[in-house]
Amino acid sequence: MAGFRYYNVQLLPINVHERGDVGKKGYQTFFAGLKQRVVKAVQDRRVEAIAYGLRSGLLFSAFTVEPADDYARGKFLKFDVAESVIDIYTSQTVFTASPGASAHPTYFRFAFDYDRHILAIEDTQGRLPSTGQLIKALSHLLEPVRSDLYPEYILTIDQLTASDAVQKVFKEAKGFRRVHVTVTFANSDKFVQSLQKELRDKNIHQVEHIEKASKGSLMDSPTEFGKFLLQIAQRYGNASINYVAGQGKTLKRKIFRMKDHPVRQILKEGKKETEPQFIDRVFQSIPGAEKKASAPVNDAHD
């Protein structure tokens, strides 16, 4: 059994009047560029030089990248650099490691859908970094590639949030204190259909929206526009919802953060299934993950 989390990775033109979307071919080229960078680091035995330093002290890097026709596959690696082992009683070095040695390597398989620009990453034994740390690590790995191949574009990375987690808030909420939504301009879907013209005309890449009640009071619900943005943020952004739940003496203030509720899907590996066959199913799981992050946000009585 392997669990996967999903991330929307986009290259957006800095000036939409001069550049269009990179498209399927562009994302394939993007991951081919990442492969070139990773292959060199592996050949030089210097993966730590391109890795991102996590708060835990471990490092995170891409380790293999294989761009195919419809999607890219490969592995990320979380590791430490073991230089030597010290005897704590004598302070003497009892073992000196060779370059590339790691005491705690963990590999995370991935598949990236060029059409949907969604990345599926295996959460191996629950050891993926936190959402914030992982997005920073991915940005660190991908930004040099973007800078080389697509200097006229910006890179955005957003976690796919489970729609049912958002809907649970609206089912239990008795009132809302504050809703804060940030949405990144998307290359496709309903968001573009309704807001694309104005966003493109004004070269806007991100929308930030806040709704809040007066001090000591509660909102019955966010506006329809606010709920619409919450729906889009499940795939292309982030949000926090400050609300109250319960009744009478059990009334309690709660805070919901999208980053804490990623879309997760479990895939069972077949006994006779090859690694490429399994990763192909990971790729095929991406539309289902996108659907789980696409449901409208409705009030409990809607």
pLDDT at res. 40: 97
Other CB atoms within a 10 A radius of the CB of residue 157 amount to 17
pLDDT at res. 89: 43
Q: Which regions of 87-139 does DSSP assign to beta strands (E)?
A: 93-96, 106-113, 118-122
Write out residues in the chain with pLDDT < 70, as ranges: 82-103, 185-200, 300-302
What is the C-alpha end-to-end distance of the chain, expressed in Å? 37
Burial of 57 (0-12, 13-18, 19+ CB in 10 A): exposed
**Residue 58's closest CA among 104, 95, 113, 112?**
104
Distances (CA, A) of 89 to 83, 95, 103, 273: 19, 15, 21, 49
Residues in contact with 166: Cβ distance below 8 Å, sequence separation at least 6, in sequence order: 230, 234, 256, 258, 261, 295, 297
Distances (CA, A) of 1 to 110, 252, 271: 15, 37, 11
Which residue carries 């080229």 as its tokens? Answer: 29
pLDDT at res. 103: 54
Model pLDDT for residues 254-286, shown as the tens digit of each residue:
999 999 999 999 999 888 899 999 999 999 999
pTM attached to this predicted model:
0.88
pLDDT at res. 258: 96
Distances (CA, A) of 8 to 63, 150, 155: 20, 18, 10
Cβ-contact 168, 29 below 8 angstroms = no
pLDDT at res. 99: 54
pLDDT at res. 206: 83
Distances (CA, A) of 289 to 138, 162, 285: 19, 9, 6
pLDDT at res. 94: 46
DSSP 64-101: EEEE-SSEEEEEEEEE----EEE-TTT--EEEEPPTT-
For the chain, count helices (H), then strands (E).
7, 14
pLDDT at res. 97: 47
Residues in contact with 17: Cβ distance below 8 Å, sequence separation at least 6, in sequence order: 203
